[in-house]
Amino acid sequence: MKKVFFPLMIPSVLLILLVLPVNLTAARAFNNDFETGDLTDWEKTGEAFDFQPTWGDNPTARNRGQPSQHQGDWWLGLAEKYQGPDKGAKLGQKPGDLADGVDAPQGTLTSIEFTIVGETMNFLIGGGNRAWDTAEPCCVNLVINNEVERTMTGNATETMSRKEWDVSDLKGKTAQLVVVDKSSGGWGHPNFDDVHQADSKGNNIPWDRVLAVNARGKLAVTWAQMKKYY
């Protein structure tokens, strides 16, 4: 009987795969906190992000008096030039080193696309306070269809604090995050780290769940999840 059941089961499972309105792409995580130690999932332009992400509390290492308050080991600190005890050491960098030109380099850093599924988005931000609608913006933007829907700046301190956007009206839309450094003047650099979407209770939503949602709002199906259908 078992020899008959398995061949019959395969067509049934294939039929389910054909009729279910799901995205079969396996869920994966997003480099939302730069803990890969590089810019995986982000695309840079210009020179401002050449030594990013940075490792450790570099402002404190040079006695700046403004601790970074970053999450984990890695974060975006565009005034910094220390890429950690491995890569940084090989390049002759040391904790507390400042980037070449400090505020002078400019550029952008754009994330992969993701679906808005939460009520809010929260993140750590510091650095310059030059708004998006000024001549030399230094900020983080939430972009949908090439339009800036939300924007935020730091508070002219290296210390990052957690800030939040209400994105409830944007649910279901495909978005990208863009870190903008278009300033070469004083405080012309952003700091950024640890971005999340959160539900109505304020609980952060795992990024593998966010990226598993396709344009129709269905969750991706893995082989393990398919087992419940047979």
DSSP three-state, residue 149: strand
Non-local CB neighbours of 130 within 8 Å, separated by 6+ positions? 136, 137, 138, 139, 153, 183, 185, 187, 188
CA distances from 72 to 41, 79, 203, 212 (A): 18, 19, 19, 25
Asked whether residue 46 falls in the same domain as residue 155, the answer is yes
With a pLDDT cut of 90, the percent of the chain lying above it is 80
Is 119:199 a contact under the CB 8 Å cutoff?
yes
What was the pLDDT predicted at 174? 98
Q: Does 48 share its domain with 13?
A: no
- Give the pLDDT of residue 16: 43
What contacts 24+ positions apart, CB below 8 Å, involve 1-9?
9/230
- Indicate if 134 and 23 belong to the same structural domain: no
Whether residue 200 sits in one domain with residue 94: yes
- Whether 61 shows a pLDDT value over 90: the answer reads yes
Same domain, 23 and 37: no
Rounded Cα distance between 109 and 130, Å, is 17
For 90-102, write each residue's pLDDT tens digit: 999 999 999 999 9
Instruction: Tell me, yes or no, whether 56 and 99 share the same domain.
Output: yes
22 and 68, same domain (yes or no): no
Helices then strands (H, E): number in the chain? 5, 12
DSSP-derived letter for residue 126 is E
Instruction: Identify the CATH number of the domain in which residue 141 sits.
Output: 2.60.120
Indicate if 19 and 133 belong to the same structural domain. Answer: no
Cβ atoms of residues 195 and 141 within 8 Å: no
**Number of independent structural domains in the chain:** 2
Residues 73, 123: one domain? yes
Strand, helix or coil for residue 107: strand
* Shared-domain flag, residues 149 and 163: yes
Q: Is the pLDDT of residue 55 over 60?
A: yes
What is the model's pLDDT at position 23? 46
Higher pLDDT, 109 or 214: 109
pLDDT at 28: 79
Same-domain pairing of 106 and 33: yes
Q: Which of 209 and 9 is assigned the larger pLDDT?
A: 209
Residues 153 and 223 in one domain: no
If 0-12 CB within 10 Å is exposed, 13-18 middle and 19+ buried, where does residue 225 land? exposed
Cβ–Cβ < 8 Å for 47, 109: no
Mean pLDDT of the chain: 87
pLDDT above 90 for 9: no
Between residues 204 and 222, the one the model is more confident about: 204
What's the domain range around 223?
A: 1-27+217-230
What average pLDDT does this structure show over 12-40?
68
pTM over 0.85? The answer is no
Nearest 5°: the CA angle 131, 154, 202 is: 110
| Cα–Cα separations (whole angstroms), residue 131 to 135, 154, 158 | 9, 9, 17
